[in-house]
Amino acid sequence: MYFLLLKACSCTSNFKNDTVYSLSMFHLISGIKDVIKVIEGRFAFLECQYNDEFESALEALGQIGSTIRGAELILSNAQSASRHVISAAFDRQAHGRQLAALEALGNIAGVTRSGNKILLNDSGEENLRRLMYENASMSSKLTPSGLFWAVLQQDSEVRIAAYKMLTALVARPWCLIAICTKQEIVNLVTDPHTETTKLGMDSKYDCCKAILTSLQSSVALDPSLTTIEKKLEEAVGRGPYSARYKSYAQPLVLTADRF
């Protein structure tokens, strides 16, 4: 499985190279498909054992999914690799596996990409949305918003991975609606006291900013969401470290009494 991870990293590096010629790209895509196929075949065997190998498989998919072409290839077959990633991301029974899956899902959704490279082709986007709703419907949470809120209530490591995942996913209208209709999520990402580490505060701030950007970019903003928009704007305006600075003791300077 370590070899597959190295292969995934190598292919991803070439995917990011815009000078790759069409013939080389054909062989590259073929190689990526082979890697994904091998990983898919291993998932069934690794599901109930070998956590380290399972996590390496998820990490390999995350590397592939960090590029738009790689993410589209992973999501081109919604019955296999992508289903395992999404299922593991919201399964709190295996901590390391869940972390690897959340990070992989964040990469596939576009957290490492920018601009017009975040959203995938129509097929990839539809499969991503459908898999999220299917996974939610088969859980006790029932909806994507319920899944999001569940991982945001876990430990700091999981929350940070969840912030990064949502930072990318919220570019999709269905995810934006899921977040904005779950008041608990809005309250958490706008609360300056939620996180105490720099990484946690930075990740939460980036997530809050991404939600606001997506909300303001909506074609027609629902009037009922204006309160949420204002709350997000205030949180973004405060910056990521407002709670830390306000918690420091302030020096008190007094003028000496004159006799």
Q: How far apart are CA 182 and CA 47, in angstroms?
A: 32
Between residues 63 and 255, the one the model is more confident about: 63
Mean predicted lDDT score pLDDT of the chain: 86
Which of the two residues, 176 and 17, has the higher pLDDT score? 176
What stretches of the chain show up as alpha helix (H) in DSSP? 2-15, 22-46, 51-65, 68-74, 81-89, 95-109, 122-137, 144-152, 156-169, 173-180, 183-190, 198-216, 226-238, 242-247
Q: Give residue 118's pLDDT.
A: 97
CA 215, distance to chain mean position in Å, is: 17
Tokens 């997530």 sit at which residue? 207
Residue 77 pLDDT level (bands cut at 50, 70, 90)? confident
Q: Which of 14-23, 88-97, 102-111, 220-229 has the lowest mean pLDDT?
A: 14-23
- Tell me: pLDDT of 55 over 80: yes
**Residues near 129 by beta carbon (within 8 Å), at least 6 away in sequence:** 172, 174
CA 20 to mean position of chain CA atoms: 28
pLDDT tens digits for 109-131?
A: 999 999 899 999 999 999 999 99
Residue extents of the structural domains in the chain = 25-139, 142-241
The listed range with the strongest mean pLDDT (88-97, 160-169, 221-230) is: 160-169
pLDDT given for residue 22 in this prediction = 59
pTM for the model stands at 0.86
What 3-state class would DSSP assign to 53? helix
- Greatest CA separation found in the chain? 91
Distance from C-alpha of 221 to C-alpha of 232, rounded to nearest angstrom: 14
| Closest by Cα among 105, 98, 124, 6 to 60 | 6
- The predicted pLDDT at position 163 comes to 99
> What does the alpha-carbon distance between residue 136 and residue 116 come to, in Å, rounded to a whole number?
28
pLDDT-based confidence at 149, cuts 50/70/90?
very high
Say if residue 10's pLDDT is above 70. Answer: no
User: Cα–Cα distance between 228 and 186 in angstroms, integer?
Assistant: 7
8 Å CB contact between 64 and 74: yes
pLDDT for the residue numbered 249? 46
Show the tokens assigned to 129: 């949305």
Give the pLDDT confidence of 157-166 residue by residue, as tens digits. 999 999 999 9
> What is the three-class DSSP state of 34?
helix
Torsion of CA 28, 26, 77, 4, to 10 degrees: -20
235-247, pLDDT tens digit by residue?
Answer: 999 999 987 655 4
pLDDT bucket at 43, cuts 50 / 70 / 90: confident
